[in-house]
Structure 1
Amino acid sequence: MAESTVTGPAYADVEVGTQLLPRSFPVRRETLVRYAGASGDFNPIHWNERFAREVGLPDVIAHGMFTMAQAVRVVTDWVGDPGAVVDYGVRFTKPVVVPDDGVGAVVEVSAKVAAKLDDDNRTVRVDLTATSAGQKVLGRAQAVVRLA
């Protein structure tokens, strides 16, 4: 596998505490249907309100991997290259509930550089915060990124 060409911020110029540009990601039922088609995850909790309620959920919920992917976009937009993310992990803390009201839900994501990890490899750890409807939906969301 070829190493990616990093074009984002220079390691020497990035300080611990650097805030990345926050983003808001709208999520509607149509978004979930498209994601289900792309991912092959057709679990009815992601599109069938009746089924979701029968299994104890408040409504249809977004796919966890979709939520995770939206959150890391803050990092990939900042660094300019998705291949610069060398590690990424989260814990799912709350589902993103997506009502069928024409508006849906919004996932709010902020991030900051939490640590410089390795001067030789120019890696930093970015901590992310993702919320929806005022609740944290991802816990321990961290990405390790190789900078220019």
Structure 2
Amino acid sequence: MTRLPAYSWKVTREDITAYAEASGDGNPIHLDDDFARSVGLPGVIAHGMLGMGHLATYVTRWAGDHHRLRRLRCRFAAMVLPGDVIQFSGRVAGEAGGLLQLELEAVNQKGEMVLSKGFAEVTA
């Protein structure tokens, strides 16, 4: 089946802060290194939904129009940290009922899966 072109995102603290402000999710694990470390994390981590937002961007850029996106889901498989470079990939896995079915995933620069079992449907 058809492979989607690759898309990468370099995660910045600015991305994380902007997402926290826009979403209203001010959980300190996303904003305060000392707090994040106090609960066993390596430092601040990106919001899972920030990564999923980039997954949506990946799909809609390929589809050419965000109105074509009908369904999107994924599993948050690992933490995403500031400085990570996330590589999104996907393929057209099938078509049913006028919808293209996409299988999607994202890995970090170490090859670790950060978003798995991604699935989207876009109008054909």
Report the TM-score when normalising by structure 1.
0.79
Give 1:32's match in structure 2, choosing from 7, 13, 16: 16
**2:93 is the counterpart of 1:114:** yes
Corresponding pairs, count: 123
Give 2:75's match in structure 1, choosing from 87, 91, 99: 91
Take 2:108 and 2:38, find their aligned partners in 1: how far apart are those partners?
Answer: 22
Unpaired stretches in structure 2, ≥5 consecutive residues? none
Asked whether the equivalents of residues 46 and 79 of structure 2 are also in contact (C-alpha less than 8 Å), the reply is yes
Give 1:135's match in structure 2, choosing from 112, 116, 121: 112
Give 2:33's match in structure 1, choosing from 21, 46, 49: 49
Take 1:55 and 1:67, find their aligned partners in 2: how far apart are those partners?
Answer: 22
Asked whether the equivalents of residues 74 and 111 of structure 1 are also in contact (C-alpha less than 8 Å), the reply is no
Quick one: which amino acid aligns to residue 54 of structure 2? Q
What CA deviation, in whole Å up to 9, does each residue of 1:94-140 have, x standing for no partner? Answer: 01022xxxxx221110111011122xxx2011111101132101121
Quick one: which amino acid aligns to residue 86 of structure 2? V
Unpaired stretches in structure 1, ≥5 consecutive residues? 1-16, 99-103
Alignment of 1:53-68 (within 5 A): 53-68=37-52
Quick one: which amino acid aligns to residue 8 of structure 2? S
Q: CA deviation at 1:19?
A: 0.9
What CA deviation, in whole Å up to 9, does each residue of 1:56-114 have, x standing for no partner? Answer: 1122111000001102222100111112111111111101022xxxxx22111011101
Percent identity of equivalent pairs: 41
Take 1:49 and 1:132, find their aligned partners in 2: how far apart are those partners?
Answer: 20
Map of 1:10 onto structure 2: none
Take 2:56 and 2:107, find their aligned partners in 1: how far apart are those partners?
Answer: 13
Say which SS state the counterpart of residue 79 (structure 2) adopts.
coil
Take 1:42 and 1:93, find their aligned partners in 2: how far apart are those partners?
Answer: 22
Please say which structure displays the higher CA radius of gyration.
1
Report the TM-score when normalising by structure 2.
0.93
Query: Which 4+ residue blocks in structure 1 deviate beyond 4 angstroms?
Result: none
Say which SS state the counterpart of residue 118 (structure 2) adopts.
strand
